[in-house]
Structure formats: structure tokens, C-alpha cells
Amino acid sequence: MTQLEHVYPQACWNLFERGSRAIEFLFNNPPGLLLVDDSLQDIEPVELVGLFKSENVYRQVPVALILTEEKAKEIDFSLLEVDDFFLKPLNPIMAQKRLDLILSRAARALDANPLTHLPGNTSIIQKIQSLIEQKKHFALAYVDLDYFKSFNDKYGFSRGDEVLMMTARVIVNTIRSIGGKNSFVGHVGGDDFVFITDPDKVEQACQMIIASFDSIVPNFYDLEDRKRGKIISIDRQGQVREFPIMAISIAVIFNYGQLKHYGEASQMAMNLKKIAKKNPKSSYVLDRRKST
């Protein structure tokens, strides 16, 4: 590692000998690049990378491993979220060029949503289509926020973005805690999110997301609106209008092998969402035609 520091003096390096000491630092000060040497003693390098990369807020940080040949043979890179690796002993020119490459590649845009870094539309469609083609059973949920627009109008976009970041965290952590082989969370854009879980777990997921969202969202309003429990604003016609505190709506459709195409799934979900939206409070609607 100190060798790399010499090869690449233009970077601002922070070296840690113990992985456990690095974790809190990483969470608080995500670096431009994380390099993990496989000689770390106190924590498995693979575990350290997993801990860091599985958080949506840190996913954009490129991670590279520094490995011995033996170790490199053992590692299955399809299962590990790293972006590159170096072999020991390091070749200085190779190392320098590789660092250049990793950093510039990371700078290029991903499909990820620029705000939440969750997978965006391309990944969402690919994921759903691949599950359909594999005839997997799954529940697909479309999530959006009620009265998000009036919140944005009153408080401005950056306050709106705060709410979207919070919503993303609530969905991600709920889906992860519920588990399941095919679970997935994506961000379509704006206040539209998508998640996928096992069919038997989706109702519990909806309930947990609603409970968390409803209890946390009042914190995002100013004190007076929070006390009032609503926003009061005057529209362009000079009319006084009231908008309730934001709520979350979830529409869920199921695939038991009957779906042929992604488009079918999204059409069904859109229709269902209109029903969920009729309720001004947070609510979820399950597609009851699931058994047919």
C-alpha cells in the first residue's frame, strides 16, 4: 500500500492497518477509491467490501483489491462487488495506469439514479424481464408519494430530495431485512420507486415501509406545518389550499409464471396504483387476481 502511495502521490491517501478501524471512517468520509489489501488480519477483505458496497450511498465509490495470485484464484468476482484488482508484487507503471483507469471509469455515469444511486430504469426493466423469462415467482411493487408535489412547491427541490433520500433508505432497509433471493430495489425517478420481493413477504414489507415512512416524514416539515399536520398555500388563482402531510402509496402485482413481458407488469401496476392513490393516507393495494 505504501508502494502505491509512492506511485500515485497526487492522491490524498488514508492508510489503515486494521480493517475495523477503517469502517467508521469510511462511512463518514467515503473516499474516491477504496483499496483493500488481502493481508488485512482482523476482518476478511471480502467482508469489509461487502459491508461498504451494499449501502446505496456508497455504491458509487470504486473498490479494488490487492491480492496474491493464490487469493485471486479463489475469488469469484461475479459474487463480489469490487471494481478492479491488483496482483502482488505490484508493478509500478501498471499500478499507476490502473489507478488512472479505475478513477476515470468510476467518474463515467452509471445507470444509477444520480440522487439515490439506486439502480435506474434500464436495470429495473432488465431485472423484471429476466425474472419473467426465468419463470420466477415474485411480487413487484410500485411505490410513490402522495402530496410530494405540494411539498416541493412549498419547500423547494432540495428539501424534496431529502424526502426522496429518506424514502430510498426506508425501502432499501426494509427489503433487505425481509430478505429473499430475488429481492431488488430500484428508483424509476422523481418520487417513483420499485421493489421486488418473494410473494409471501410483500404484504409485511408494505406494512413496514408505511409504518416507518409515516412516523419519519413529519421531521421533514417546518415546525408550524408539523404542528398543524398540513401545508397551507395560496395557488395562482389566489385560492387558499390545504395539503395533508405526505403519504406513501404502494401497488403490488404478482407473477406466478403467467406474465410474458415487462410491459404487461408495468401496465397492471399503473392501473392498480390509481386505486391506492384514492386513499389520502398511506396505503397498499395487492393485485387480488394473483391466483388466476
- Does residue 169 belong to the site contacting another protein (CB under 8 A)? yes
216 binds another protein (CB under 8 A): yes
Nearest approach in angstroms of CB 28 to another protein is 6
Q: Work out how close the CB of 174 gets to another protein at its nearest, in angstroms, rounded to a whole number.
A: 8
Site stretch for another protein (CB under 8 A), options 83-91, 127-135, 169-177, 189-197? 169-177
User: Interface with another protein includes 103 (CB under 8 A)?
Assistant: no
Taking the complex as a whole, how short is the minimal distance between the CB of residue 274 and another protein, in angstroms? 29
When asked if residue 178 is in the footprint of another protein (CB under 8 A), the reply is: no
- By CB under 8 A, what part of segment 51-70 binds another protein? 51, 54-55, 57
24 in contact with another protein (CB under 8 A): yes
Three-class HEC string of the chain: CHHHHHHCCCCCCCCCCCHHHHHHHHHHCCCCCEEEECCCCCCCHHHHHHHHHCCHHHCCCCEEEEECHHHHHHCCCCCCCCCEEEECCCCHHHHHHHHHHHHHHHHCCCCCCCCCCCCCHHHHHHHHHHHHHCCCCEEEEEEEEECHHHHHHHHCHHHHHHHHHHHHHHHHHHHHHHCCCCCEEEEEECCEEEEEECHHHHHHHHHHHHHHHHHHHHHHCCHHHHHHCEEEEECCCCCEEEEECCEEEEEEEEECCCCCCHHHHHHHHHHHHHHHHCCCCCEEEECHHHHC
Binding-residue total with another protein (CB under 8 A) = 34
Between 162 and 235, CB nearer to another protein? 162
Report the residue from 78, 215, 237, 291 that binds another protein according to the rule CB under 8 A. 215
28 binds another protein (CB under 8 A): yes
Q: Which residues bind another protein (CB under 8 A)?
A: 20-21, 23-25, 27-28, 30, 43, 51, 54-55, 57, 115-116, 161-166, 169-170, 172-173, 176-177, 179, 212, 215-216, 219-220, 223
